[in-house]
């Protein structure tokens, strides 16, 4: 018996020893790794600035210092160097993009940058599949409300399901805005507008929650605003579904070819997906026109005075703003792409 | 001229070379670091299980295998080993707590665990200062509404400022819930209830947004629910301020003594802060009682039928639930602390 006591005592001693050793190994690993990490960071920064300097030198080749053909070749070499740095393992050591105020507001000073490329891709894929799941609901939920309205509810939407839907919208847009900010920190080139667009949509969902849903009599007239809002939401669902299809394919093509966005600049966009964009955009333009139309109708409703709440006015203005912004940014995207 | 062209060409060549080298160094650093990282992780896991095994062996020392005094000493040694592991540098290699569904829903699969101890502390401090800032507003905002109501608005709250306040509440509670989930992932021992409590508060803020704020005539009666809600919110502000004072002091004491939570088990809570807790708790109990009272008043209002909206009923039930949960969890915290 005393022997097994001895054994336990020994084991405890060993455990304490191991804990100390582990602490030492961990400390030395951390300090070694952070030194290496810092040196890689420095090298990335200095290489990046060399590339920038040479790039500006080449593009200001106005005195024809270099043979234009040679200049083109050198420019291409520089691009290759940039691709190696930005898309390879060195990318983890690039200085992080600053996290915007939106993330700070909700999450505090936590860092949401994934250090590994494969996790960054996973985040992007998960974002796409999240959008897919929601796009279907986006279509289904308001459609169900509008159908039930004319079939069962006698032209008069009850408040509760509409409010439930609006709360869901608010939750959804908040999630999208957070995720897009996270993607941005992780190196996505998403235009800031698409994120602002979701802030606007958040504002709209929030305001629509406070929007009183009046009942009989004269339901159809009083609920005109809500009805337009639901129609806009359905249209958003269609836009999202189309956009998702295109963007997922684009991501997969990129992954399959083992080259990421910046390589596009060198080799051009993959033709197949590019073609889709020219199909997608006219539909997007139509939807954006409809968005503006719904916004103007809301404004009209507010001015004529059938529904004179400030909420209707506010949503109308927001919708018009969003339509204009979406249009401008889609056009700019197209122009940027056709330049290559 | 041709000489400087040569120089540029050379430089570009060097940059491409450097990019390749950098890629190689980065790749080898990453693979080396992840191997070391994995081996440290394995060691931490195995040490952790040894400690657990020995701990259960010692605490089941029912055959008096060991002299009780020796058993106590060994138990203390084990605790020391545990502290070294959990509070030292090895802590970064402990298996991460799983991230809850709430974070996943809003943020996707991104990892919010800070790998460095000092960043974890920073996150915690920022959380405290966020709470401080909001607690003041918490007190000020509803107080202003209630004062303006009797002085200027003639006993009748206008809808807009109240809704603005409710939207702010929703935003605030969402932020708190997200931050607390992040703290949890970063090793905080926060009881799950305090997080659920903020989910409930989010639900309440959301529901209160849909709650129609009726005007004259008979304002005082119709707005009884809103008024109670504002009173509860003010009370929350008081609770938060007191709690913040206590918890910040607790954190600073811990940091100053250079020992983190788990060490408490060995050395006991710091007496100064512990004393504060016994002062704080009676006040918290009174506030919790008031919370339940407001909830019951809301339920009464809903049943008597002065304000018969489901929102009033829902908020009443939530408030009573929250009061009961807060009380139970405060008592459990006190009991857990007095056991040492
Ligand atoms: C025009 C459009 C199809 C272009 O998509 P694209 O070819 O991916 O555009 P870009 O090449 O500029 O994309 C750059 C990045 O932004 C992302 N992105 C582009 N538009 C986005 C959007 N609307 N939402 C979220 N992310 C978007 C891309 O995924 C890409 O990310 P990555 O750098 O991580 O790979 C797309 O912006 C779009 O669908 N816009 C219209 C949206 C709209 O108007 N909706 C409402 C209709 S009422
Ligand atoms: C009772 C109370 C003072 C105990 O606080 P405490 O001594 O810090 O409690 P614990 O030791 O159990 O804390 C463990 C962890 O949970 C955190 N925590 C405890 N209560 C918390 C709360 N209500 N909100 C957020 N975090 C909390 C602590 O900061 C600590 O974090 P750490 O592990 O990162 O250091 C605190 O829980 C409290 O104020 N509760 C009452 C809240 C309430 O009822 N409010 C509404 C009134 S109507």
Q: Which is it for the CA torsion B236, B239, B241, B246, positive or negative?
A: negative
DSSP-assigned letter for residue B153: S
Structure tokens at B149: 């109501």
Q: How many CB atoms lie within 10 A of CB A187?
A: 20
Mean pLDDT of A93-106: 82
Of the candidates A113, A112, A115, the residue with the CA atom closest to the CA atom of residue A91: A115
Ligand 1: which atom is nearest the Cα of residue A288?
48
Instruction: Estimate to the nearest angstrom the gap between the alpha carbon of A22 and the chain centroid.
Output: 41
Give the Cα separation of A186 and A116 in Å (integer): 10
Distance B144 CA to ligand 2 centre (A): 28
Q: What does the pLDDT read at residue B255?
A: 67
Q: What does the pLDDT read at residue A329?
A: 93
Instruction: Tell me, using a 6 A CB cutoff, whether residue A301 lines ligand 1.
Output: no
Q: What does the pLDDT read at residue A226?
A: 78
Backbone angles phi, psi at A194, to 5 degrees: -65, -25
Distance B278 CA to ligand 2 centre (A): 13
Q: Which of A84, A123, A210 sits opposite B163 (nearest CB)?
A: A210
- Does residue A283 have a pLDDT over 80? yes
Mean pLDDT of B117-123: 79
Which residue CA neighbors atom 30 of ligand 1 most closely?
A190
In this predicted model, which residue has the larger pLDDT, B252 or B20? B20
In this predicted model, which residue has the larger pLDDT, B258 or A237? A237
For residue A151, CA distances in Å to A140, A144, A157, B25 come to 16, 10, 11, 67
| Chain B residues within 8 A of A19 when measuring between CB atoms | 47, 80-82, 84-85, 90
Least confident of A123-137, A174-188, B303-317: B303-317
Residue of chain A nearest B61, judged by CA positions: A5
Distance A58 CA to ligand 2 centre (A): 61
Give the Cα separation of A160 and A167 in Å (integer): 10
Give the Cα separation of A13 and B78 in Å (integer): 9
Distance B55 CA to ligand 2 centre (A): 28
Confidence of residue B261 (pLDDT cuts 50, 70, 90): very low
- Does residue B324 have a pLDDT over 90? yes
A278 to chain B nearest CA, in Å? 31
Q: What does the pLDDT read at residue A215?
A: 67
Distance from the first to the final alpha carbon of chain B: 82
- Does residue A271 have a pLDDT over 50? no
The answer to whether B1 contacts A65, with C-beta atoms less than 8 Å apart, is yes
- Does residue A256 have a pLDDT over 70? no
In this predicted model, which residue has the larger pLDDT, B223 or A74? A74
Instruction: Estimate to the nearest angstrom the gap between the alpha carbon of B10 and the chain centroid.
Output: 56
Q: What does the pLDDT read at residue A196?
A: 94
- Does residue A327 have a pLDDT over 90? yes
For residue A168, CA distances in Å to A175, A205, A209, A295, B279 come to 11, 9, 10, 21, 42
Confidence of residue B196 (pLDDT cuts 50, 70, 90): very high
The answer to whether B110 contacts A112, with C-beta atoms less than 8 Å apart, is yes
- Does residue A227 have a pLDDT over 50? yes
Q: What would the pLDDT profile of A144-183 be if each residue is shown by its tens digit?
A: 888 888 788 777 878 888 888 889 989 999 999 999 999 8
- Does residue A184 have a pLDDT over 90? no
Of the candidates A171, A85, A175, the residue with the CA atom closest to the CA atom of residue A126: A175
In this predicted model, which residue has the larger pLDDT, A196 or A2? A196
Confidence of residue A200 (pLDDT cuts 50, 70, 90): very high
DSSP B44-64: HHHHHHHHHHHHHHHHT-TT-
Q: What would the pLDDT profile of B176-193 be if each residue is shown by its tens digit?
A: 999 999 988 887 888 999
| Chain B residues within 8 A of A85 when measuring between CB atoms | 19, 22-23
Cis? peptide before B217, omega within 30° of 0: yes
Share the mean pLDDT of chain B: 82
Q: Which is it for the CA torsion B70, B74, B79, B84, positive or negative?
A: positive
Give the Cα separation of A326 and A330 in Å (integer): 6
Confidence of residue A320 (pLDDT cuts 50, 70, 90): very high
- Does residue B272 have a pLDDT over 60? no
Q: What would the pLDDT profile of B96-112 be if each residue is shown by its tens digit?
A: 777 788 888 888 888 78
Q: What does the pLDDT read at residue B177?
A: 93
Give the Cα separation of B127 and B240 in Å (integer): 13
Q: What does the pLDDT read at residue B198?
A: 93
- Does residue A328 have a pLDDT over 70? yes
Confidence of residue B72 (pLDDT cuts 50, 70, 90): confident
Q: What does the pLDDT read at residue A297?
A: 87
User: Residues for chain A: how many in total?
Assistant: 340
**Which residue matches tokens 């980065």?**
B26
| Chain B residues within 8 A of A40 when measuring between CB atoms | 22, 25-26, 29
Q: What does the pLDDT read at residue A257?
A: 60
Q: What does the pLDDT read at residue B269?
A: 46
- Does residue A254 have a pLDDT over 50? yes
Mean pLDDT of A48-58: 87
In this predicted model, which residue has the larger pLDDT, A181 or B118? A181
Instruction: Estimate to the nearest angstrom the gap between the alpha carbon of B226 and the chain centroid.
Output: 28
- Does residue B243 have a pLDDT over 50? yes
In this predicted model, which residue has the larger pLDDT, B4 or A174? A174
Q: What would the pLDDT profile of B75-85 be if each residue is shown by its tens digit?
A: 888 888 888 88
Q: Across A258-262, B37-41, B152-156, which has the greatest mean pLDDT?
A: B37-41
Contact A26, B40 (CB under 8 A): yes
Mean pLDDT of A177-206: 90
**For A195, what's the count of Cα atoms within 13 Å in the CB-facing half-sphere?**
18
Q: Across A154-158, A220-224, B119-123, B282-286, which has the greatest mean pLDDT?
A: B282-286
Structure tokens at A127: 């974002």
- Does residue B64 have a pLDDT over 80? no
- Does residue A307 have a pLDDT over 70? no
Give the Cα separation of A27 and A31 in Å (integer): 6
Give the Cα separation of A109 and B100 in Å (integer): 19
Of the candidates B107, B123, B36, B232, the residue with the CA atom closest to the CA atom of residue A177: B107
Share the mean pLDDT of chain A: 82
The answer to whether A182 contacts B110, with C-beta atoms less than 8 Å apart, is yes
SS (H, E, C) chain A: CHHHHHHHHHHHHHHHHHHHHHHHHHHHHHHHHHHHHHHHHHHHHHHHHHHHHHHHHHHCHHHCCCCHHHHHHHHHHHHHHHHHHHHCHHHHHCCCCCCCHHHHHHHCCCCCCCCCHHHHHHHHHHHHHHHHHHHHHHHHHHHHHHHHHHHCCCCCCCHHHHHHHHHHHHHHHHHHHHHHHHHHHCCCCCCHHHHHHHHHHHHHHHHHHCCCCCCCCCHHHHCHHHHHHHHHHHHHHHHHHHHHHHHHHHHHHHHHCCCCHHHHHHHCCCHHHHHHHHHHHHHHHHHHHHHHHHHHHHHHHHHHCCCCCHHHHHHHHHHHHHHHHHHHHHHHHHHHHHCC
Q: What does the pLDDT read at residue B171?
A: 92
Q: Which of B13, B26, B89 sits opposite A26 (nearest CB)?
A: B89
CA angle A36, A38, A42 (to 5 degrees): 115
Ligand 2: which atom is nearest the Cα of residue B277?
3
Confirm or reject contact between B33 and chain A (CB < 8 A): yes
Instruction: Estimate to the nearest angstrom the gap between the alpha carbon of B58 and the chain centroid.
Output: 34
């Amino acid at each position: 018996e005393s022997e097994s006591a001895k054994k336990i005592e020994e084991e405890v001693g060993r455990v304490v020893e191991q804990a100390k050793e582990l602490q030492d190994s961990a400390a030395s690993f951390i300090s070694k790794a952070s030194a290496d990490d810092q040196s890689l960071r420095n090298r990335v920064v200095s290489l990046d600035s060399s590339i920038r300097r040479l790039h500006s030198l080449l593009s200001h080749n106005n005195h024809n210092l270099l043979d234009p053909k040679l200049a083109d070749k050198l420019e291409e070499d520089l691009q290759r160097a940039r691709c190696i740095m930005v898309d390879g393992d060195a990318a983890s050591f690039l200085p992080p993009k600053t996290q915007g105020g939106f993330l700070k507001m909700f999450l505090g000073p936590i860092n949401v940058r994934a250090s590994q490329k494969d996790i960054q891709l996973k985040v992007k894929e998960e974002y796409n599949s999240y959008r897919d799941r929601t796009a279907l609901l986006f279509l289904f939920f308001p459609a169900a409300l509008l159908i039930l309205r004319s079939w069962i509810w006698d032209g008069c939407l009850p408040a509760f399901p509409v409010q439930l839907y609006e709360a869901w919208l608010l939750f959804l847009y908040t999630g999208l805005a957070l995720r897009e900010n996270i993607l941005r920190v992780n190196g996505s080139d998403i235009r800031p507008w698409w994120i602002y667009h979701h802030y606007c949509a958040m504002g709209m969902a929030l305001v629509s929650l406070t929007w009183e849903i009046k009942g009989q009599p004269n339901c159809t007239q009083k609920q005109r605003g809500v009805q337009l809002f639901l129609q806009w939401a359905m249209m958003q669902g269609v836009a999202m579904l189309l956009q998702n299809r295109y963007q997922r394919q684009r991501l997969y093509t990129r992954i399959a070819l083992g080259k990421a966005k910046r390589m596009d600049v060198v080799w051009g966009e993959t033709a197949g997906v590019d073609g889709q964009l020219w199909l997608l955009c006219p539909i997007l333009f139509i939807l954006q026109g409809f968005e503006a139309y719904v916004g103007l109708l809301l404004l009209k409703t507010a001015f004529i005075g059938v529904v004179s709440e400030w909420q209707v006015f506010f949503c109308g203005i927001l919708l018009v703003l969003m339509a204009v912004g979406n249009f401008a940014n889609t056009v700019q995207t197209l122009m940027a792409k056709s330049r290559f």
